[in-house]
Structure 1
């Protein structure tokens, strides 16, 4: 009986940990949701390929993409604060 209770508690704790991982640290997107969000985010830029590359990279790390096609980065601090080697913004 004790083994059954231990197994149940282990499964319960594990499910909470898994939910926290999928909830993300900052954003709540799942990696599969990044592509459509980035497609919209980059829809009006002249540099679509570069924008999509960096947007998807940033989304995979931050699990968040700001709303709109430009600006609104304050919605996603991780996305906003990630800088390139020169100190400029990494995420579009």
Structure 2
């Protein structure tokens, strides 16, 4: 079990996480880790945020994720993702 959400529970096979999925996609598409930004809000996002060169937690993320993120942006309800895309991608 990866984590609890208000709407349900995330269940993943052992030794599988979002960081591994992003790493796999990078390999498949010839993208380097240095080209990756990951934005999350839950414990299940920790491996993905740690893998990315730019690992971001939204302001309403849990404390564990905020502790590993390179940056904290506004809450997802306050355009936090949009702010990071504008800052790093556009």
| TM-score of the alignment, normalized to the shorter chain, above 0.5 | no
Structure number with the higher strand fraction is 2
Which of the pair is proportionally richer in helix? 1
TM-score by length of 2: 0.29
> Relative contact order, CA 8 A, sep 6+: which one is greater?
1
Structure with the greater alpha carbon radius of gyration: 1
- State TM-score, norm by structure 1: 0.29
